[in-house]
Structure 1
Amino acid sequence: MKTYLKRFWKDNAVVFFLLTVTNVIQTIVSVRMAASLNTLVNLDFESFFKVLAEVMGLFLVFLLVLNVQINKTSETKQKMATAIRTDITKRMEQASYTSFHQKQVGTYTSWLSNDLNTIESSGFDLFYQILGGIIATVSSVIALFAFHWSIVVMTIVLTALTLSLPKLYENKLKTASLSTTEENERFISKVTDTLNGFDTFFSFNLLQKLTRNTQEASVALADAKNNQTRVTAKVAILGAFGNILGQLSVTGLTGYLVFRSLVPIGAMMATSDLAAVIFNTVGNLSQQLAAMRAVEPIFEKFETLEISTEKSSEKIPTVLSGIELEQVGYAYGDKQVLEKVDASFELGKKYAIVGASGSGKTTLLNILNGKLTDYSGSVQFSGNELNQLSGRELREHILYMDQIPYLFHGTVRENITLGETYTDEELAKVLKASSLEEVVANLPLGLDTDIGEAGRLLSGGQRQRVALARGFLRGKKIILLDEGTSSLDEKSALEIEQQLLANEDLTVLMITHQLREAIRSKLDKVVVLGNA
C-alpha cells in the first residue's frame, strides 16, 4: 500500500493539508468554548457572544474545507484503486498461460472487486482516519499545554498504555482478515461455477443445487467473517478500556486543578473535549493499524501470479517454412502424454490429428501454440526452435480454436475487432472469408447487433465463424482446430471444415474424434498419436 501512497504523493499531500486545517479548527473551537464558559462565570455577556460569533465563523470555514477534503480524499483513493487494478491486470498480461490458469477466473474477479473493496475500506480509508486522528491528537496535546503541564504528562502516559493493550491480538487479527479474503475468493469461484452450470442443472432437474452450493459457500464465508469479528471485538474492547480510563483520568485531574484554583473552570470543558479526541483516536488506533496491516497479505497475494519467463525474439516477418517435430515428448508431472512424436506440417497443407482419448492431441496443439514450452525433443517453426521464440510473436501467425470460442457480451463488430481499429473494407473481406456475410445481413443492426452474454444469441456455427473472422482479420495463416466443430450439428461442422480445407493459403491442423470421409479425402495427411 505504501507504494501507491508514494506514487500519488502530491494528491495525498493535498489531503494531508486539508485534514490538518479541519482538525486544527476543531481544536481551536474546543479551546474557545472553554473561554466562553469562563465569560459566563464572570457574567461577561458581551465577551460570551463575541466568542460564540468567533466559533460560528470557525465552523463555517471548517464546513467549507471539509467539503473539499471529502471530495479530494475520494478522488485520491479511487486513483490509487484504479492504479492497483491496472497493475494486477498488467501482471496478468505478463503471466504465462499455465500460471494464469492455476487459479480460477472467479479468483481474479475477487482480486479486482472484493479485495480492492477491502483495500479501500481497511487500507486507504483507515489510513486517512489514522492520519486525521494523529493530526487531531497532536494539536490537542499542544492545546493542553495552555492549561497545565501535568495534564499533558498524564495524557502521554495513558496514551502509551492504551496503545499497548490491543497489540496482544494484532497477529490474530491479521490472520483472521486474510482468512476472510481467501474465503471470499472461494465463495465467488464456487458461486460463479454454480451459476454458469444453470443450463446443466436445468437439463437434469437439479436446480436445487443452485441453492445448496451457494448456501454451503455462504456458511463457510460467514464462519470466516464471524471469526474475524470475534478477534476484532477483543481488540476494540481493550482499546475502549484505555479510552475510558484516559478520558476519566484527564477529567479527574482537571477537576482537581480547578479545586486548587490552578486552572479556570472553563478548562473542564476544553480538557474533556480534547481528551475525548486524543483517547478516541488512541483507543481505536491499534485496531485500525492492525486492520490496515491486514491488507498487506492481499498485496502479497497479488504477487503470486508469476510473470512469464518467456524468451523474447525478433518478430518473424514471414513464415518461410512449416513445422517440424522430432522426438517430441511432454509430461504432466509423472504422467507422460506425448512420447517421441515425429511429424512434419508443410505450409498450405491440411492435416488431421487423431488418437485415443489421452493420447496428447490437445497437448500437441498447446505446444504448437506456444502455451506449453517445457517439451522435450525438438519443434522447429520456420527454421526456429519453438521454445526459443516469443510466444507473443508466434501467435501473430497462429489461430487456435477450441470447441466453444469465447464471445464477449457486446456486438458482432466488437467481438471480431476485440477493441482494435479496422476499416469497413477489411471487415467486409473477413465476413466473406468466414461465411458471415449472410448472417450479419440478417441481423437487425448488422455488425452492431448485440449478441448477448457469451454470444448466446448466435448459434454454435455462427460463434465458430466469428472466431474465424477474428483470425482472418489479423492475417492468421496457420489454424489449429481443437475439436472445433464437435459441438456443432453435422451440416454446420461440415461447412466450416470444408471452408477451411478449401482455402489454399491456410495451413490447417485439426484434432477430431469424428473424421468424416468427405473431409478425409481433402486432407494431405492424417497424423495418428498413440495406438489409434
Structure 2
Amino acid sequence: MYTIIKSNIKKFSLLTIFIVAGQLLLIYAATINALVLNELIAMNLERFLKLSIYQMIVWCGIIFLDWVVKNYQVEVIQEFNLEIRNRVATDISNSTYQEFHSKSSGTYLSWLNNDVQTLNDQAFKQLFLVIKGISGTIFAVVTLNHYHWSLTVATLFSLMIMLLVPKIFASKMREVSLNLTSQNEAFLKSSETILNGFDVLASLNLLYVLPKKIKEAGILLKMVIQRKTTVETLAGAISFFLNIFFQISLVFLTGYLAIKGIVKIGTIEAIGALTGVIFTALGELGGQLSSIIGTKPIFLKLYSINPIESNKMNDIEPNEVNRDFPLYEAKNICYKYGDKEILKNLNFCFQCNEKYLILGESGSGKSTLLKLLN
C-alpha cells in the first residue's frame, strides 16, 4: 500500500489535511457545547445567544469540509485504482506466453476488478477512516487534559485496552481476506469455463448442467463471504461493547468531578461529545485496522504477478539485435498429437522487425506453431 500512496503523495497529503482540519473543528465545536451550557446555567442570555450563533458558524465549516473530503477522497482512491491496474497490466504484458496462459483470463479480470474493489473497501477507505479517527482522538485527548488530568489518564487506559482488539483478530482477518480473493478467482474461472462450453453442452443437450455448475461455484463463494463476515462482526461487537462501557465510565467520572466542584457542570456536555469522538473512532478502529491488515496478502499477490525472471526479450533494445542473422529459423519441423500429424517438414526463416502472416484452416497447426516459437 505504501508504494501506491507514495506515487500519489501530493493528493494523499492534501486529503489528509482536509480530514484533520475537519476533526479539529469537530473537537472545537464540542468545547463550545460546554460554554453554551455554562452560560445557560448562569442565565446569561446575551452570551448564550452569541455562543449559539458562533457554534452554528463552526458547524457550517465542519459540513463544508466533510463535503470536500467525501468528493476528493473518491478522486484520490480512483488514482490509486489506476496505479494498481497499470502495474498489473504492465506485469501481465511482461509475462511470457506460458506465464500468461498458466492462468485463465477470468483470474486476470478478478485481479483488475474484484481485487481492486476489495482494496478500495477494505484498505483505502478504511485507511482514511483511521486517519480521521486517530486525528480526532488526539485532539480530543488533549482537550480532555485541559479540563482535568484524570480524564486523560482514564482515556489512555481505555485506549490501550481497545487497541488490543485488532491484534487479536489480525491473523484471522488476513486468512479470511485471502480466502475471499482466492474464491473470487475460482468462481470467475469456474463460471468462465462452463460458459465457454455452452456450444458443447448445447450439442449434447446438457444445458441444464450450466446453472447447476454456476450455483455450485456460487455456494462456495457464499460460504467464504459468510465466514469473513462472521470474523468481522465478532471483532466489531467486542469493540462496540468496549466503546459503550468506556464512554459511560468517563461521563460518570466527569459527573463526579462536577459534583466535587473540580470542573464546571457544563463540562459534562463537552465530555459527552469528546468521548463520543474518541470511543466511536476507537470502537471502529479495531475493525478498520484488521481490515487493512487483512488486505496485505492481496497486495503481495498483485506485486508478485510476474516472476523475477521476466521475459528477457522485453529488455533487448531493437538496435542490439544482429540483423545479419534471422530471429527464428527452422528446418523440417514435424509435430503430431497422438496419431494426428499437425506439422510436417515445415521450414521457415523469420527476420527481425519483419511482419509475417500465418494462414491456415482450423486445426492446421497455427497455435501449435506459435507455442513452438515461444
Residues of 2 paired with 1:218 and 1:57: CA distance?
52
After TM superposition, give the deviation of residue 355 of structure 1 in Å: 4.0
SS in structure 2 at match of 1:145:
helix
The yes-or-no answer on 1:357 pairing with 2:338 is yes
Residues of 2 paired with 1:16 and 1:25: CA distance?
14
The yes-or-no answer on 1:38 pairing with 2:19 is no
Q: Which letter maps to 2:5?
A: L
Residues of 2 paired with 1:87 and 1:162: CA distance?
37
Residues of 2 paired with 1:271 and 1:124: CA distance?
31
Matched residue, 2:312? 310
Where does structure 2 lack aligned partners over 5 or more consecutive residues? Answer: 367-374
Asked if the contact 2:247–2:279 (Cα under 8 Å) also holds between the matched residues in 1, the reply is yes
Matched residue, 1:109? 109
Residues of 2 paired with 1:81 and 1:261: CA distance?
55
Matched residue, 2:97? 97
After the TM superposition, which residues 126-525 of structure 1 pair with which residues of structure 2 at under 5 Å, given as runs? 126-302=126-302, 303-306=304-307, 308-311=310-313, 312=316, 314=318, 324-325=329-330, 343-344=331-332, 355-357=336-338, 361=342, 396-397=353-354, 476-477=355-356, 479-481=357-359, 484-486=360-362, 511=365
Residues of 2 paired with 1:259 and 1:486: CA distance?
91
Asked if the contact 1:96–1:310 (Cα under 8 Å) also holds between the matched residues in 2, the reply is no
Matched residue, 2:370? none
Residue deviations 1:209-266, cap 9 Å, x none?
2211111011000111111111112211221222122101111100110110111111
After TM superposition, give the deviation of residue 344 of structure 1 in Å: 4.8
Q: Alignment RMSD, CA only?
A: 2.6
- After alignment, is 165-174 or 73-82 more displaced? 165-174
Q: Which letter maps to 1:71?
A: N
Matched residue, 2:55? 55
Q: Which letter maps to 1:209?
A: V
Residue deviations 1:105-142, cap 9 Å, x none?
10000000010001111111000000011111111111
Residues of 2 paired with 1:6 and 1:354: CA distance?
51
Aligned length: 360
Return the structure number with greater strand share.
Answer: 1
Q: Which letter maps to 2:44?
A: D
Residues of 1 paired with 2:294 and 2:71: CA distance?
26
Residues of 1 paired with 2:65 and 2:329: CA distance?
71
Where does structure 1 lack aligned partners over 5 or more consecutive residues? Answer: 326-342, 346-352, 369-379, 383-393, 398-475, 488-509, 513-532
| Cα distance, 1:193–1:355 mapped onto 2, change above 3 Å | closer
Q: Which letter maps to 1:240?
A: F
Residues of 1 paired with 2:256 and 2:167: CA distance?
32
Residues of 2 paired with 1:320 and 1:272: CA distance?
81
Residue deviations 1:256-295, cap 9 Å, x none?
1011011111111111111111111112212111111111
After TM superposition, give the deviation of residue 358 of structure 1 in Å: 6.9
Residues of 1 paired with 2:194 and 2:337: CA distance?
31
Residue deviations 1:440-472, cap 9 Å, x none?
xxxxxxxxxxxxxxxxxxxxxxxxxxxxxxxxx
TM-score normalised by L of structure 2: 0.89
Residues of 1 paired with 2:257 and 2:326: CA distance?
96
After TM superposition, give the deviation of residue 359 of structure 1 in Å: 7.4
Residues of 2 paired with 1:145 and 1:70: CA distance?
31
| Cα distance, 1:358–1:93 mapped onto 2, change above 3 Å | farther
| Cα distance, 1:243–1:360 mapped onto 2, change above 3 Å | farther
Residues of 2 paired with 1:34 and 1:207: CA distance?
70
SS in structure 2 at match of 1:35:
helix
Residue deviations 1:192-215, cap 9 Å, x none?
222233333233222222211111
Residues of 1 paired with 2:114 and 2:298: CA distance?
11
After TM superposition, give the deviation of residue 178 of structure 1 in Å: 0.8
Return the structure number with greater helix share.
Answer: 2
- After alignment, is 313-322 or 280-289 more displaced? 313-322
Matched residue, 1:525? none
| Cα distance, 1:354–1:286 mapped onto 2, change above 3 Å | closer
Residues of 1 paired with 2:89 and 2:38: CA distance?
61
Matched residue, 1:73? 73
TM-score normalised by L of structure 1: 0.63
Residues of 2 paired with 1:358 and 1:140: CA distance?
79
Q: Which letter maps to 1:128?
A: F
After TM superposition, give the deviation of residue 51 of structure 1 in Å: 1.1
After TM superposition, give the deviation of residue 361 of structure 1 in Å: 4.8
SS in structure 1 at match of 2:264:
coil
SS in structure 1 at match of 2:146:
coil
The yes-or-no answer on 1:118 pairing with 2:118 is yes
After TM superposition, give the deviation of residue 360 of structure 1 in Å: 8.5
Residues of 1 paired with 2:206 and 2:298: CA distance?
36
**Larger RCO, structures 1/2 (Cα 8 Å, 6+ apart):** 2
Q: Which letter maps to 2:306?
A: L
Report % sequence identity: 28
SS in structure 2 at match of 1:263:
coil
Q: Which letter maps to 1:145?
A: N
Matched residue, 1:438? none
Residues of 1 paired with 2:76 and 2:190: CA distance?
34
Residues of 2 paired with 1:209 and 1:309: CA distance?
40
Residue deviations 1:370-429, cap 9 Å, x none?
xxxxxxxxxx866xxxxxxxxxxx5x44xxxxxxxxxxxxxxxxxxxxxxxxxxxxxxxx
SS in structure 2 at match of 1:226:
helix
Asked if the contact 2:173–2:293 (Cα under 8 Å) also holds between the matched residues in 1, the reply is no
Q: Which letter maps to 1:305?
A: N
Asked if the contact 1:137–1:277 (Cα under 8 Å) also holds between the matched residues in 2, the reply is yes
Asked if the contact 1:126–1:292 (Cα under 8 Å) also holds between the matched residues in 2, the reply is yes
